[in-house]
A = this chain, B = another copy of it.
Amino acid sequence: MSAARIGLVSISDRASQGIYEDKGLPALKEWLEAALLTPFETVTRLIPDEQPLVEAALREMAEECCLVLTTGGTGPAPRDITPEATLAVADKVLPGFGEQMRAVSLKYVPTAILSRQVAVVRGRCLIINLPGQPKAIKETLDGVFAAVPYCIDLIGGPYLETRDEAVRAFRPKSAQKPKA
């Protein structure tokens, strides 16, 4: 079995210009390494907050990845266009991810309601917007990832297994395979 491929996209004008160091991609990679038992490869991108660029990156990555995680660009500021770009490439919108990520973040900060993050399916790829801060990335992935492997099963992707000590993937019994 070939490794699962996961796309990671950091969307930030300043990090992409080298004004400051990108902390989104390392945070996403670190979280996945701790959580996934299934071998995987990552494909990464660091791009500015330009809707056509974000859409193009998502379209391209969705061809080869079963999962794409974005970080950054989900707030209310004029340059924040990640949700718009994500919705523009969507086949199906999954409102439960955004609702649950905001509900989780709201336990930490009241401004969690300003996040406009969405999750969508494009072809056989699940795309999820995450916040920009490493701490918030971890909190929200901890809060929703249990549903991700089964979602990827349903859209025709590889069977992902998680490390129970980090996150426990949930599947109905009929969808479970014996542990690798």
* A residues apposed to B, CB below 8 Å: 75-78, 80, 84, 91-100, 102-103, 106, 109-116, 121, 126, 144, 146-147, 150-151, 154-156, 170-172
Tally of this chain's copies = 3
Q: Are A151 and B114 in contact, with the CB atoms below 8 A?
A: yes
Given contact pairs A77-B154, A78-B91, A111-B151, enumerate 14 new A-B contacts (beta carbons under 8 Å): A75-B154, A76-B121, A76-B155, A94-B116, A95-B95, A96-B102, A96-B112, A96-B114, A96-B115, A97-B113, A100-B102, A111-B147, A113-B144, A113-B147
Looking across the interface, which residue of chain B has its beta carbon closest to that of A113? B96
Cα A94 to Cα B170 in complex, Å, equals 29
A170's partner among B78, B80, B110, B154 (CB-CB below 8 A) is: B110
A27 to nearest B CB, angstroms? Answer: 17
**Which residue of B77, B92, B93, B110 contacts A147 across the interface (Cβ within 8 Å)?**
B110
Query: Which residue of chain B has the shortest Cβ distance to A133 in the bound complex?
Result: B172
Q: Are A94 and B111 in contact (CB under 8 A)?
A: no
Q: Complex: how many Å from CA A84 to CA B91? A: 11
Name the distance in Å between A125's Cβ and chain B's nearest Cβ.
11
